[in-house]
Chain A
């Protein structure tokens, strides 16, 4: 399994796949995952803001950039319909009350500045942008303004969305396969029967790896979403088909999903294991992270002192989101000592 997308040359995950037990998993994690600095998060910048998304004026300012002119009334036409109707000339009054109602962690010292700037009708585009940013707050805090993923979870509590890093799926091609023949005819295949009884095939887009067995069963790993996994599996099936086998696409099933995120504050793991002893296992001599086995939903979370959390064991995306929403208040409890 991969948190980073470096696949070539790293074979230990194959062994992991078939040992599939916790100790092997943890040995793998010894290899740098604990200090893995949010590679995925660097990729998905738009969705990893830790603060509640609607208070994210920079997003709007980014969009507003080219379209506004100084001194003009705020142009909110690019926003979704139900939201733009909220816009009134006197929206700044709403802003004040709205921001008061928002999370107290917002520094109220800054908002009056903007309001005073607004009353002087500043011509500077930046002012307009900041106003726009603040003016965005009348919107319903429930509506995330970040780019939508196909299944948007309600994140009113944490504002953090775990990013999927790896999906493992299986499919039955429905016919016995000649692995030697496949290894000979396919460019992207490798087969070493003494080491492992399956052909290892890779495709470039989506960047995934498949293990194809002589029975016709196939395991596809490395995709970043369920749809990508399905597309990749179909491509592998198509390759096998082109090689002359009567391959079909039966019983496609997602077996495991891995996601990660960052809560952006340090966590006292010793405290967490004391209060949640029945779920947690923390052995710093063996592994730097705390292993939290959540019962409902049945997900294993690896929690690190840096605030990074890895969630695994899910068959569906909703389980991951639910597990994270369950753990977030617990972690917040350990934020301030």
Chain B
């Protein structure tokens, strides 16, 4: 009845009692009679606690409208891609999970749509039905980089380890896009899509072996492979004269600029192999190599081996030649060709090459280099130039302007000269003029606007 620990605001007494007046509970001070607190007039059904409307009236919790819409979008994307039911279910499950995670619950609707696409993408990868991110971003009509960001975030949130997409797997699906069958184009330009895909896959595999594919975007590679395959399946003059531009026009696909570079790189590789064909008399150039592609692809492993062996023999011959030359010459290394000069640079030193017969594309150990005897062409031994096949970014490195060598042997506690610090501070006059000029500039700008 008493002793609820509250003191009366009127007299300060702690003698407070519960007093039910009619149906209203009250706490009243015994000494002075003031009401300390009152209860509510209407009792809640559950004895006091607040019960929200949604808690009492909603029978089932209705899912968020956008979640439902998103799941439908996932379904739609799956139907467009014509994937099987498993992928659809998995992507819907992932979407539900990801949607409710804190990193995605409050993002824009556009991002949620991208998330739907990414769920489908990751499910496809996991269930061995690969598609590229480029394809997905086309479907979603979104920026590929944005798709990439959402994809990586989602994979992190859901802790998924998805395998990477193999270009050869995606090749067939990609080649379906090219409208180059006899139904769409005239006879001389038409090609059976199966043959086309098969030849393009072989070209992509060859490119992968020779370091063209690693690190590059897959779609330009596929486009280049399909173009070269199309040219080589019927290497008539007409087809050889067809540029990539025109090809993409008749096939009704969007051209990728990078595909041109890939075409050049692939043609180079094909030429290197084409030169090894024993029955060829004429010279193989990037322009006419299309005619030899059939033979090259049929015998590509044999040709690869031959090419590597020839290259190694050439290197050995070069090495022994420059060694002899170096041993009978004075200090200056002579520059013959880029490779010879890289070798010649170290003519003074013992040079190591790989054991012969080590027949694959790994480079030889790079020759030693020291700052003293420098040559003008390359100060870094470019191991890429000594190997037959190397990633193009190694054989053609970007030229960068030389940076300053900077301080060496700095302790961090050196004396800092006053004059140096003063050189960074304006003189009073300079500061005044600067302030004045700034004012004038801002005035003129505000006048303009």
Contacts and interface: CB of A to CB of B under 8 A. Distances in A.
Interface of A: 4-6, 22-23, 27, 32, 34-43, 45-46, 48-51, 56-59, 61-62, 65, 105-107, 110-111, 113-114, 126, 129-130, 133-134, 150, 184-188, 203, 205-207, 224-231, 234-235, 238-239, 242-243, 264-270, 273-274, 277-278, 281-286, 288-289, 304-307, 335-337
Given A266-B390, A306-B393, A231 B215 contact: no
Contacts of B243: none
B294 interface: no
B443 interface: no
Interface in B361-418: 361-363, 365-366, 368-372, 379-380, 383-384, 390-391, 393-394, 397-407, 409-414, 416
Query: Counting chain B CB atoms within 10 Å of each CB, which of A110, A111, A113 scores highest?
Result: A110
B222 to A, nearest CB: 12
Contacts of B216: 284, 288
Given A32-B398, A37-B400, A130-B350, A278 B161 contact: yes
Nearest to A32: B398
B411 to A, nearest CB: 6
A76 B121 CA distance: 65
Nearest to B162: A277
A228 B406 contact: yes
Contacts of B348: 58, 61, 126, 129-130
B113 interface: no
Contact of B404 (A129, A187, A207, A305): A207
Contacts of B152: 22-23, 281, 283, 286
18 contacts: A38-B380, A39-B402, A43-B402, A49-B369, A51-B368, A58-B349, A62-B371, A105-B352, A105-B355, A110-B323, A150-B409, A228-B412, A239-B424, A243-B425, A265-B362, A281-B152, A284-B214, A284-B218
Interface of B: 132-134, 144-145, 148-149, 151-153, 161, 163-164, 166, 211, 214-219, 323, 326-327, 330-331, 346, 348-355, 360-363, 365-366, 368-372, 379-380, 383-384, 390-391, 393-394, 397-407, 409-414, 416, 420-426, 430-431, 434-435
Contacts of B144: 285-286
A32 B397 CA distance: 11
B424 A231 contact: no
Contacts of A269: 214-215
A130 B94 CA distance: 66
B contact patch SS: loop
A134 B327 CA distance: 15
Contacts of A27: 145
B350 A133 contact: yes
B383 A265 contact: yes
B320 to A, nearest CB: 9
Contacts of A51: 352, 365-366, 368
A266 B360 contact: no
A264 B326 CA distance: 25
Given A34-B215, A186-B424, A306 B391 contact: yes
A99 to B, nearest CB: 9
A337 B360 contact: yes
B353 A45 contact: no
A227 B410 contact: yes
A270 B164 contact: yes
